[in-house]
Each structure stands twice: as C-alpha cells, then as structure tokens.
Amino acid sequence: ELTNTISLEDFCSNWKTKKPHFTLKRKLIEKIATISRTMHGRGMCHRDYYICHFLLHEHSTAAGVLEGEPQLYLIDLHRSLIKNKLSKRWVLKDIAGLYFSALNIGLSRNDLLRFVKIYSGTPLREALSTRNDFWSAVEKKAHQLDRRLNQSR
C-alpha cells in the first residue's frame, strides 16, 4: 500500500492557472523521463502509461524537499509487456499516452523539450535530428487521442 501519495494527474490539475514551483516541475519531468527511458531501455512497456499512474509522495511537494529528488511510484504494472527488445510501436504508444495525459496541464515547449532530451539521453539537437520521425509520431498520436476523447464527451 502506498500511503501519503497523490496521482500526478491530481497534483498537476491546477498547473494551468497556478504555476508550480519551477524546480519541482523540472525535477518531476526529469524523473519521469528517466523512469521512461530506463523502463523502455530494459524492454518493458507499461501499455497504460498516463500521468495518473504516477504517484507522488506528499513530502515531495513541500518547499523544503525541492533540493532532493521527488519520490515517485509507477503503479498499475499488471498489463506491462516485457520483451528482450521493444518494438518502436510499443514505445510510441507509451510515450504518446504519457504526452496525451499531460497535454492540458500547462507544460511549456521547454518542458517538453527537456523530457525529449532526458528520455533520449543525448543532446537535444541530436535527439530531434536523429529521432524526429519518432517525436513527430508521438505528438500526432497524442493529439489523436485527445481529439477522440473530446469527441466522445
């Protein structure tokens, strides 16, 4: 049981109107990008990868803890797929789902580029030039998911 936690979806729900502390937001983006890169690099795909499946320990939101790492937990791993090497399709699905779930929380372009850089593990210019097709496909799929959700409302 994970107690004293809040889902990132709930934690970030008011970020559009009430900007979070820059350092906390940056550290959360870095942590999620690192978790994502590690998970995919080791052949694991979540298959239901949204910000609501990240739980943030409440002490991480206190101003005094900004010097440390936010304590994040990834939950709902029961549908995960584990392979020796994931195909691009599975990684794209995960990252697009994550992006889709964060579309409306008020992230800036710099926030998104920070994620790309850390997830890629390369300088940003290299990440965008060598994997531009992948990142374009992520953006396209995330917006398709958003349109589909809005049509069903």
Phi-psi region of 47 (alpha: psi -120 to 50; beta: other; left: phi over 0): left
Q: How many CB atoms lie within 10 A of CB 112?
A: 16
DSSP string across 75-98: ---TT-EE-SS--HHHHHHHHHHH
| Residue from 48, 94, 111, 146 carrying the catalytic annotation | 48
146 in active site: no
**121 φ, ψ (degrees, to nearest 5):** 70, 20
Amino acid at 108: S
Sign (positive or negative) of CA dihedral 84, 37, 97, 70: positive
Eight-class DSSP state of 20: P
- How open is the CA angle 121-124-128, to the nearest 5 degrees? 100
User: Which amino acids are annotated catalytic?
Assistant: 48
